[in-house]
Amino acid sequence: MRHTLAVLVENNPGVLARVAGLFSRRGFNIDSLAVGRTDNPAVSAMTIVVEGDDRYLEQVNKQLHKLVDVIRISDITRDAYVDRELVLIKVSADSNKRAEIMQLVDIFRARIVDVGPKSLTIEVTGNDGKISAFEESLRPFGIKELVRTGKIAMLRGFKASSKNNVHKEEDES
Amino acid sequence: MEITVAEALIRCLEQENVELVFGYPGGAILPVYDALNKTTIKHILVRHEQGAAHAADGYARVTGKVGVCLATSGPGATNLITGIANAYMDSVPMVVITGQVSTGMVGTDAFQEVDITGITIPITKHNFLVKDPNQLPVIVKKAFHLASTGRPGPVLIDLPKDVAMEKIKFKYPKTVVLPGYKPTFKGHPSMVQQAGRIIMESERPVIYAGGGIRIANASPELLQLAEKINAPVTHTLMGLGCFPGDHPLFLGMLGLHGTKYANQAVTECDCLIAVGARFDDRVVSKISGFAPTAKIIHIDIDPAEIGKNVRIQLPIVGDVKNVLGALLPQLEKKENAPWLARIRQLKEEFPLHYDRNGCLKPQFVVEKLNEYKDDRAIVVTDVGQHQMWAAQYMRFKEPRCFLSSGGLGAMGFCLPAAVGAKLGAPDRTVITVIGDGGIQMTMQELGTAAEQKLPLKIFVLNNQRLGMVRQLQDFYCQKRHVAVDFQFNLDFAELGRLYGMEGYTVETAQQLEKLLPEVLASPKPVLVNCMVDPEENVLPMVLDGANINEAVD
Ligand SMILES: Cc1cc2nc3c(=O)[nH]c(=O)nc-3n(C[C@H](O)[C@H](O)[C@H](O)COP(=O)(O)OP(=O)(O)OC[C@H]3O[C@@H](n4cnc5c(N)ncnc54)[C@H](O)[C@@H]3O)c2cc1C
Ligand SMILES: Cc1ncc(C[n+]2csc(CCOP(=O)(O)OP(=O)(O)O)c2C)c(N)n1
């Protein structure tokens, strides 16, 4: 089963290497990993998608927790959450194909962000299902390049998957 | 008043009550060494950085304090790696300080630059690269806190040379904030209660005691538990000494080279209480055959150890001393008479044994050392056959008396660790049991021992070969021996003399017995080269893929 982990980490140098290294060292497979700052500059949020059974996920969780920079991990897979991924796709587009492609762009509520003589570059955001569907419908035209950000996710409603006011000043004396 | 970061570092160490550090100087760490001029902290100059790390490790194991070692950037730092990994695997509290090239040069493949924080991510509990001079005191405070609390381990601080020379206002923080680090100390009350119930319902309980007992100083609680519920106690290599070796409930070591009766007891028990032990593969062998009829209770401070290798019925995350303290009042006195009778029978039926005929037997050497050593003597081993014989035949009344590289199994550990141990416990006898292979990995530390005037008692179990590997080749490669017999053999007694020790060679049991009381009582450093039977095997031995109660004996 695929699990989505919302992970809060201290924004320290090397934290990405620590997390990524842990996954490769312990033989855990990452499907995707997205990382960025939160509203607190000292804290970053990671969304990690990882595939495995419950026992495996338990180890992933516990090993991640052992990293001192990891503040909090929530496996939100079974909760209601919103997830989004942004994808850039460069697709071959001769003049006779453009109308058709633009129609698809419309249907999927994507956006054309660059127009070249023989290609279009399209931006699309959405969840997994939408993105795969869009990718499949563009495939016949010839996808020349595709880049995905990896998924970011957040719980629905008022509850926070990540609370990031965890940083207090060091108590000096 | 402002002081340099290097001076601040030393002040931090003073605040942490560090009395000595092990190290080796160089360019990038020059400012720190300069600052050592102004302190009462003693610096022990080793002969190789690996020795500094192992010595800090040995010191920490004996004293329970954080061991500290220093090295310069580049090769100095990389030489520490085996020692850091060793401390990591055996959960030893250590703070490692390395010099680094100046910040402006980091990342340029500068002279003697290596990315030591990158390299040591997998073998440290945590590490820090100091970039902001003002952060140094907070970082050191964090490092000591991390190294010594929860599940202990090594923490590395990499200090660039230019940062070390900056000036700061020194203030040592009283506490630190680590939002991602909150070890669980108290066991969950309902889990403790359930554990009590399982134990009281059991008829054939066994306690499986590990290194966590030593770390938590929980030997008194362990003894109370065992006596209250009359459960026999088996221990891991790391748990040796946590339970008195002369106690009727003592079962000896379990696992790969454990006693047959310990392994059989674990196989037959209906309740296995694992305390501060991590179900290592050397212990468990075939998972399905490990304690197949038992309800397993696992008490460990590291949640990641629970359920990692073996499925367990009842986890209790917490400090063993605390958890056992909470568990004891839940229990009532149990007798388990039929079970104890069964254990006595197993002990009689399958004792440890070896053939006493012929030339000097390595088992005999450790047996006699055990007989003649005093109760508080510290035994340090290297890795190999001699290590296993020491674990099988030596008995201890208290923890922190037996030091061995368990998780990493790093040959070369013994001599430097013995140096650290002796400096940590100057009034106690330190005996090393070491192979002729392993001594040659770090024998330069004999120089450190001589310089510090440490009267180590070194016993080389000299079989003129890499005995443990020879044994593996016998069992797994149809006795095809490759690269296990030394063609050049050193006169170790003479080597000892070169380093100012009394050197002896013994070839017979009589020679050994005559020499032992004398050399152990002597205030001098001694090296005894014991020419032992090169054909002896460590038995029992659980072969690959077998259950632990199916050992070859
Ligand atoms: C050649 C060779 C052969 C070996 N053969 C054997 C063998 O036959 N049998 C054997 O037992 N070993 C053997 N070993 C050693 C083995 O590899 C492991 O090192 C050892 O079994 C681990 O011991 P342990 O489970 O006590 O864990 P340790 O490595 O000592 O770990 C301590 C455990 O306690 C926990 N802990 C720490 N502090 C606390 C606390 N305050 N409260 C609660 N828990 C805490 C830790 O999280 C950890 O899980 C051998 C090693 C070598 C080199
Ligand atoms: C650094 C290192 N290299 C290799 C090994 C593999 N190894 C384990 S035991 C052993 C032989 C040890 O020989 P010796 O020190 O003579 O001790 P003996 O087994 O003969 O008692 C070897 C090579 C190891 N454990 N550590």
Cα-based distances in Å from B546 to B208, B256, B485: 20, 10, 29
B506 half-sphere exposure, CB direction, 13 A CA radius = 23
Using pLDDT thresholds of 50, 70 and 90, give the confidence band for residue A171: very low
Share of chain B above pLDDT 70, in %: 100
Helix (H) or strand (E) holding A106: helix A98-107
Can you tell me the mean pLDDT for B289-293?
97
Q: Is the CB of B461 under 6 A from ligand 2?
A: yes
Asked if the C-beta of A171 comes within 8 angstroms of chain B's C-beta atoms, the answer is: yes
- Is the Cα dihedral A82, A88, A89, A94 positive or negative? positive
3-state SS, residue B80: coil
Residue ranges covered by each domain of chain A: 2-78, 82-153
Closest chain A residue to B181, measured at CA: A68
| DSSP structure string for A5-50 | EEEEEE--TTHHHHHHHHHHHTTPPEEEEEEEE-SSTTEEEEEEEE
**Among B207, B282, B548, which is best to mutate for testing ligand 1, by the most ligand atoms less than 8 A from CB?**
B282
Asked if the C-beta of A78 comes within 8 angstroms of chain B's C-beta atoms, the answer is: no
pTM for this prediction = 0.95
Query: Given B89, B253, B468, B531, which residue is catalytic?
Result: B468
Annotated catalytic residue B161: yes
- How far is it, in rounded angstroms, from Cα B283 to Cα B263? 9
**Could you tell me how far CA A141 lies from the centroid of its own chain?**
26
- pLDDT score for B156: 98
Residues B127 and B157 sit within 8 Å (Cβ to Cβ): yes
3-state SS, residue B529: strand
Q: What is the DSSP letter of B465?
A: B
- pLDDT score for A113: 97
Helix (H) or strand (E) holding B251: strand B250-253
Position A165 pLDDT exceeds 80: no
- How far is it, in rounded angstroms, from Cα A154 to Cα B108? 40
Using pLDDT thresholds of 50, 70 and 90, give the confidence band for residue B89: very high
Asked if the C-beta of A54 comes within 8 angstroms of chain B's C-beta atoms, the answer is: no
**Could you tell me how far CA B422 lies from the centroid of its own chain?**
15
For chain A, helix (H) and strand (E) counts, in that order, are: 4, 9
List A residues 112-131 in contact with B (Cβ-Cβ < 8 A): none
Position B431 pLDDT exceeds 60: yes
Residues B257-279 have pLDDT tens digits of 999 999 999 999 999 999 999 99
Annotated catalytic residue B65: no
Using pLDDT thresholds of 50, 70 and 90, give the confidence band for residue A163: low
Q: What is the DSSP letter of B454?
A: -
Helix (H) or strand (E) holding B140: helix B136-148
Q: What is the DSSP letter of B438?
A: G
- pLDDT score for B530: 98
Cβ <8 Å between A17 and B121:
yes
Q: Is the CB of B280 under 6 A from ligand 1?
A: yes
Please enumerate in sequence order all residues whose Cβ is within 8 A of that of A13, keeping only pairs 6 or more positions apart, or say none. Answer: B129, B131
- How far is it, in rounded angstroms, from Cα B25 to Cα B445? 16
- Is the Cα dihedral B499, B500, B505, B506 positive or negative? negative
Size of interface A-B (CB pairs under 8 A): 63
B302 CA: distance to closest CA in chain A (Å): 9
3-state SS, residue A94: coil
Position B546 pLDDT exceeds 60: yes
Q: Is the CB of B410 under 6 A from ligand 2?
A: yes
- pLDDT score for A157: 87
Helix (H) or strand (E) holding B17: none
| DSSP structure string for B330-387 | G------HHHHHHHHHHHHHS-------SS--HHHHHHHHHHHS-TT-EEEE-SSHHH
The DSSP bridge pattern shows strands B402-403 and B457-462 to be: unpaired
Planar angle of CA A140, A142, A145, nearest 5 degrees: 135
- How far is it, in rounded angstroms, from Cα B540 to Cα B260? 7
Q: Which CATH number fits domain A2-78: 3.90.1150.10, 1.20.1250.20, 3.30.70.260, 2.130.10.10?
A: 3.30.70.260
Closest ligand 1 atom, CA of B407?
19
Q: Is the CB of B221 under 6 A from ligand 1?
A: no
Q: Which residue from B23, B28, B26 is spatially nearest to B48, judged by alpha carbons? A: B23
Residues B60-72 have pLDDT tens digits of 999 999 999 999 9
Cβ <8 Å between A70 and B180:
yes
Here the ipTM equals 0.90
- How far is it, in rounded angstroms, from Cα B185 to Cα B35? 37
Position A170 pLDDT exceeds 70: no
Using pLDDT thresholds of 50, 70 and 90, give the confidence band for residue A162: low
Exposed, middle or buried by CB within 10 Å (0-12, 13-18, 19+), for B29?
A: buried
Residues B32-45 have pLDDT tens digits of 999 999 999 999 99
Can you tell me the mean pLDDT for B353-362?
95
Chain B partners within 8 Å of A71 (Cβ): 179-180
Position A167 pLDDT exceeds 70: no
Helix (H) or strand (E) holding B536: none
Same fold, A2-78 and A82-153: yes
Asked if the C-beta of A21 comes within 8 angstroms of chain B's C-beta atoms, the answer is: yes
Can you tell me the mean pLDDT for B61-89?
98
- Cα of B407 to ligand 1 centre, how many Å? 7
Can you tell me the mean pLDDT for B125-135?
98
Chain A partners within 8 Å of B173 (Cβ): 170-173
**Could you tell me how far CA A84 lies from the centroid of its own chain?**
7
- Which of A29-38, B142-151, B432-441, B496-505 shows the lowest per-residue confidence on average (mean pLDDT)? A29-38
Residues B478-537 have pLDDT tens digits of 999 999 999 999 999 999 999 999 999 999 999 999 999 999 999 999 999 999 999 999
Question: Is residue B160 reached through a cis peptide bond, with omega within 30 degrees of 0 on the bond before it?
Answer: no
- Cα of B309 to ligand 1 centre, how many Å? 13
Helix (H) or strand (E) holding B46: none
Can you tell me the mean pLDDT for B86-113?
97
Can you tell me the mean pLDDT for B216-234?
98
Cα-based distances in Å from B266 to B135, B237, B328: 50, 16, 22
3-state SS, residue B156: strand
Q: Best residue in B126, B129, B300 to probe A by mutation, most A CBs within 10 Å?
A: B126
- How far is it, in rounded angstroms, from Cα B416 to Cα B448? 8
Q: Locate B530 and state its tokens.
A: 């014991």
Structural domains in chain B, CATH included, are 2-169 (3.40.50.970), 189-349 (3.40.50.1220), 362-531 (3.40.50.970)
List B residues 178-237 in contact with A (Cβ-Cβ < 8 A): 178-181
Residues B132-141 have pLDDT tens digits of 999 999 999 9
Q: Which residue from A110, A99, A97, A84 is spatially nearest to A140, judged by alpha carbons? A: A97
Chain A partners within 8 Å of B131 (Cβ): 13
Cα-based distances in Å from B407 to B218, B230, B254: 21, 30, 15
Superfamily in which the A82-153 domain is placed by CATH: ACT-like. Chain A, domain 2 (3.30.70.1150)
Q: What is the DSSP letter of B181?
A: -
Asked if the C-beta of B72 comes within 8 angstroms of chain A's C-beta atoms, the answer is: no
- How far is it, in rounded angstroms, from Cα A164 to Cα A86? 24
| DSSP structure string for B507-519 | -SHHHHHHHHHHH
Q: What is the DSSP letter of B23?
A: E
Amino acid at B260: K
Average pLDDT, chain B: 97
Residues A112 and A60 sit within 8 Å (Cβ to Cβ): no
